[in-house]
Amino acid sequence: MRKIVIAGNWKMYKTQAEALEFLKGFLDHLSETPDNREVILCVPFTALSTLSKNLHGGRVMIGAQNVHWETEGAYTGEVSPLMLKELGVRYVVIGHSERRQYFGETDETANLRLKTAQQYGLTPILCVGESKQQRDAGETDAHIAQQIDKGLADVDQNNLIIAYEPIWAIGTGDTCDATDANQVIGRIRSQLKNPDVPIQYGGSVKPNNIDEIMAQSEIDGVLVGGASLDPEGFARIVNYQT
Ligand SMILES: O=C[C@H](O)COP(=O)(O)O
């Protein structure tokens, strides 16, 4: 059985104090859920240490939102996989569309980050997805196939999560139709060497659409942006009903 992975991506939100405040409310609202449901909070670098100390040994795990491909070096502003490991980080988001759009991330740099993350025992979450323009031009599958092909070159598919995030659905409230997302994810899976890689959907996931999204056969979890900032709402997403 493929595992289910529910991850929050806080992006550039929450100070340490706000992160602690979130945690109190979030843990209070989490119900007992099946063992195969992994829960991850991907938070800013500045909140990793605090969350790690306060979640130690619990069921909620910590993820970062980026990692450099070298262990150390003269790379001002970057953070290495060793630095993340030391803080108890287990997961790292790689190749998010916002990193591609604003910070020059490419399939090639995502590939370097993926390989180094795995080398240091981190599980990467590789983000892929098409723009509105690409979707309208009928280029969704070709674009994603290229992101997967280049991004996963020489990558171990036994320690990997993929997130399908149509760019036009991110932060817009314009969720991709669940059956449509299911089909795209099915086609991504058919391109993988390991069909058991968990594949998430991301893009305007909310407490009121999570049940429908998770009812789809190919969707193994969600990567949640805005709705993961609210403790009660994100707990509802984690506690989705089957
Ligand atoms: O990483 C998360 C995605 O960018 C989705 O963000 P959103 O849930 O705010 O649309």
Flag whether pLDDT at 32 surpasses 90.
no
Structure token pair of residue 21: 């405040």
pLDDT digits (tens, 9 = 90+) for 110-167: 999 999 999 999 999 999 999 999 999 999 999 999 999 999 999 999 999 999 999 9
Using alpha carbons only, give the angle 121, 98, 8 rounded to the nearest 5 degrees: 55
Distance CA 151, CA 129 (A): 12
CA distance 40 to 213: 18
Query: Which of helix, strand or coil describes residue 25?
Result: helix
Give binding residues as ranges: 9-11, 171, 204, 225-226
How many angstroms separate the alpha carbon of residue 222 from the centre of ligand 1?
9
Q: How confident is the model at residue 231 (pLDDT cuts 50, 70, 90)?
A: very high
Q: Predicted ipTM?
A: 0.99
Percent of the residues in the chain that have a pLDDT greater than 70, as a whole number: 100
Reduced to 3 states (helix: H, G, I; strand: E, B; else coil), residue 224 is strand
Q: CA–CA separation, 76 vs 180, rounded Å?
A: 41
Annotated binding site for substrate: 9-11, 171, 204, 225-226
Residue nearest to atom 8 of ligand 1 (CA): 225
Q: How many domains does the chain have?
A: 1
pLDDT of residue 35 exceeding 80, the answer is no
Give the residues across from 62 on adjacent strands: 41
CATH number at residue 117: 3.20.20.70
pTM tops 0.90: yes
Candidates 204, 206, 209, 213: which one to mutate for ligand 1, based on the most atoms within 8 Å of Cβ? Answer: 204
Mean pLDDT of 21-33: 89
Token digits of residue 58? 């619990």
Spatial separation of the C-alpha atoms in residues 91 and 65, rounded to whole Å: 9
Confidence of residue 53 (pLDDT cuts 50, 70, 90): very high
pLDDT band at 242 (very low <50, low <70, confident <90, very high): confident
Sign of CA dihedral 193, 215, 39, 47: positive
Alpha helix (H) ranges present in the chain?
16-29, 45-55, 81-86, 97-103, 107-119, 132-136, 140-151, 178-190, 210-214, 231-238
Q: Are 218 and 185 in contact (CB under 8 A)?
A: yes
Q: What are phi and psi of 48, to 5 degrees?
A: -60, -45
Distance CA 95, CA 125 (A): 8
In sequence order, what are the residues at sequence separation of 6 or more whose Cβ sits closer than 8 angstroms to the Cβ of residue 103?
Answer: none
Q: What is the pLDDT of residue 174?
A: 86
Is the C-beta atom of 223 inside 6 A of ligand 1?
A: yes
Domain range for 63 is: 4-238
Q: In which residue are the tokens 């630095």 written?
A: 83
With contact defined as beta carbons under 8 Å apart, do 9 and 65 qualify? Answer: yes
Whether 185 and 140 have beta carbons less than 8 Å apart is answered as no
